[in-house]
Amino acid sequence: MKPVVAIALALLATAAHAGDLNDVKSKKQLVCGTQSASEPYAYQDPATRKFVGYDVDICQALAKGLGVELVHKPLSTEARIPELKMGRVDVVAGSMAYLPERAAQVDYSVQYLQGNIKVLVRKDDKLGTLAQLEGKRICASKGSSSAAIAGRVLAKSQIVTYQDLATCYLGLQNGKVDGISAGELTLKRFEIESAKSGSAATLIDEPLFTERMGVVASKGNTALIEAINKVISKMDGDGELDAIYAKWLGKDSIYQLTRKFKVEPVALAN
């Protein structure tokens, strides 16, 4: 066998096994991907430059529960599934909402987070309902579940996608788009920021969709998903999941939300 061919086959074999439970245990590392700029889920602390957030803490807890070291890898929204398929990450705790089309590509753990997708609009436009968005330009992050869901629910709107939500927000401020579709918490931060800038934005109360989020792994990676499920269920039972939620989304955060979701199969969660 020629050396080049042998190397290629070895790389293919490595990619095929990367991310399974045996691989994680043998290398004693869990490579866990999150989004790279989505506060409060995963973002760089401006003071320390370290990545922090709800999903980062979930990654740390998963690695600890599996008895391995965490290797955290920040990802762009659209890179989350490709990075899994290429074997560059073992799992993604990237606030990835369950969607049937996604479930055809990746396997989901039990639900570890739930949230609403809403729409942020300019306050002066007096858009108070989703029905009033007909014909309006609604921006979402490229490759996000918010973009896919907005395309379904707001079928009579014009859905445009930008690289990230910061660009969408700039587009809202300068009139290039009429609204932003994204997770409620991210939009709430934009709403607070807009009040300070003099160009006020406001959230439409009616949600587009309630997202049910699970940790994802490569398709067919049953053993790893089962192990992840056990860790999340233990976190739920011993209060660790509640503590992480309180820190980033609940009573210890600016959002003051109350956890209502259950740890259950993500496709069936209410």
In this prediction, residue 26 carries a pLDDT of 95
In this prediction, residue 15 carries a pLDDT of 44
The per-residue b/e assignment along 36-71, b for 16 or more CB within 10 angstroms, e otherwise, is bbbbbbbbeeeeeeebbbbbbbbbbbbbebbebebe
- 91's tokens: 């799992």
pLDDT along the chain (270 residues), means of 10: 43 50 95 92 95 98 98 93 94 92 95 95 96 98 90 96 94 97 90 88 94 94 97 98 97 90 87
In this prediction, residue 143 carries a pLDDT of 86
In this prediction, residue 37 carries a pLDDT of 86
Q: Do residues 204 and 172 make contact, with C-beta atoms less than 8 angstroms apart? A: no
Enumerate domains of the chain plus CATH numbers: 21-114+212-265 (3.40.190.10), 116-210 (3.40.190.10)
Task: For residues 182 and 139, give the distance between their C-alpha atoms in angstroms, rounded to a whole number.
Answer: 9
In this prediction, residue 267 carries a pLDDT of 87
Task: For residues 7 and 267, give the distance between their C-alpha atoms in angstroms, rounded to a whole number.
Answer: 40
In this prediction, residue 270 carries a pLDDT of 63
In this prediction, residue 144 carries a pLDDT of 86
In this prediction, residue 211 carries a pLDDT of 87
In this prediction, residue 6 carries a pLDDT of 42
* β-bridge pairing 209-218 and 106-122: antiparallel
In this prediction, residue 233 carries a pLDDT of 98
Helix axes 54-66, 222-238, angle to 10 degrees: 110
In this prediction, residue 9 carries a pLDDT of 40
Amino acid of residue 4? V
